[in-house]
Amino acid sequence: MKPPRVLHPGQVLLVQLRRLGDVVLTTALLEDLRRAFPHTPVDFLVGDRAAPLLEHHLLIRDRLIYDRQHPMRTWRAVRRRGYDWIVDPQSSPRTAPLALVAGTPVRAGFAVRGWGWVYTHRLPRAGRAVEYVPRERQRLLEMLGVRVGPVRTSLAITTQERASGHELLASQGIRAGAPVIGLVLSAGESAKEWPPGHFALMADGLAWAGIQVVLFEMPGDREKAAHASAGSRAVVRIPVPGLRDFMGALAACDVLVSADTGPAHIATALRIPRVTIFGPEPPAAWAPADDRSVIALRAETARDLGIVPKDDPRAAALTAAVTPTQVFEAVRTLLARRSGSGGGASVSRSG
């Protein structure tokens, strides 16, 4: 790969507009850029829905929020800033033209069919090989001569947000001193979601063990949350007013249990242990294999399946095949590790 025209950029723009999890995973590039170029400001172009994630981040100079209604305004704003590098992990029909119109001399993205040509440095997708997504994105920087370190995503929350999170849980009867497990039911795609009844059974087991359970009711989750809370007296149901409120409340938890979804990546970025339940996709792409604070579970029946299309009849069944007992034991393992009394492998997996 040819060296970039600008070896030491005066300013860099990262681009990831959508999906909470993808935005969080892209933050792994921030520390690599800071190590390589300590005095180079880095901006982040993000969509409005995910923008709150990046508030207060010390490695980001400015958040630029993509104007979906008037994209040309965003293009002009980016062009005016005169970036030396644009690094575009999204590499979509929405972001590729922006990189080109901006007139940026160094544009790194994936070699996707149809629009990959706009990038001066193009990285082929991994194809069938499964690699942790942030590590794949680090290869965009490696193309530009940046030496990357271990993957480390990051988000920032303020002292006041942490305090507000504790206050929110306390207002719902959660007591200090006893472990607290947070639950998120939704995953954006029905095939990836663990059944609400399974959450209820697992919550009852945790309550029997003296562990408190908080169900975060995310937007659109009312029906599923009602099902889970009706099936378990142990669940404390808390509607979440906004994304920053969720982050503060999550920081007050000891472990998050969810399917393969954005809040799982938020937990890792906030250094909250997590149990993540996988179905259609193998854990290797979406769970860090060397992080002892992450336990990824997938059904034994999926061991040799790899990625299962989400419209495949097996997809939802694979997620549901992970049992409440498996999740219960995984939570207890993480709590033991957090208290310093546990051991075991770096990441426990089934399948």
Residue ranges covered by each domain of the chain: 12-143, 159-339
* Domain 12-143 shares a fold with domain 159-339: yes
User: Can you tell me whether residue 340 is helix, strand or coil?
Assistant: coil
Enter the CATH code of domain 159-339. Answer: 3.40.50.2000
Lowest mean pLDDT among 14-18, 138-142, 187-191: 187-191
Taking the mean position of all CA atoms in its chain, how far away is CA 130?
17
Instruction: Give the pLDDT confidence of 279-288 residue by residue, as tens digits.
Output: 998 899 999 9
Residues 126-146, buried b or exposed e (16+ Cβ, 10 A)? eeeebebbbbbbbebbebbeb
Instruction: Give the pLDDT confidence of 55-74 residue by residue, as tens digits.
Output: 999 999 999 999 999 999 99
Look-up of token digits 């061991």: 303
User: How far apart, in whole angstroms, are the C-alpha atoms of residue 22 and residue 18?
Assistant: 7
Res 349: pLDDT: 40
User: How far apart, in whole angstroms, are the C-alpha atoms of residue 317 and residue 99?
Assistant: 41
Q: What is the crossing angle of helices 243-250 and 262-269, to 10°?
A: 50
Global pTM value: 0.94
Res 129: pLDDT: 63
Sign (positive or negative) of CA dihedral 224, 227, 228, 229: positive
Can you read off the two tokens belonging to residue 70? Answer: 């008037």
Instruction: Give the pLDDT confidence of 291-350 residue by residue, as tens digits.
Output: 999 999 999 888 777 788 888 888 889 999 999 999 999 999 999 998 874 433 333 344
**pLDDT more than 70, % of the chain:** 96
Enter the CATH code of domain 12-143. Answer: 3.40.50.2000
Residue 130 has pLDDT above 90, yes or no: no
Per-residue pLDDT band at 127 (split at 50, 70, 90): low
**pLDDT more than 90, % of the chain:** 79
Res 1: pLDDT: 66
Picking from 318, 166, 324, 309, the residue whose alpha carbon sits closest to that of residue 232 is 324
For residue 38, the tally of other CB atoms under 10 A from its CB is 7
Quote the Cα angle for 325-328-332, to 5°.
Answer: 140
Per-residue pLDDT band at 128 (split at 50, 70, 90): low
Instruction: Give the pLDDT confidence of 232-278 residue by residue, as tens digits.
Output: 889 999 998 899 999 999 999 999 999 999 999 999 999 999 999 99
Residue 202 has pLDDT above 90, yes or no: yes
Residue 80 has pLDDT above 80, yes or no: yes
The sheet carrying 106-110 orders its strands as: 63-65, 42-46, 12-15, 85-87, 106-110, 121-123
Can you read off the two tokens belonging to residue 106? Answer: 């160094």
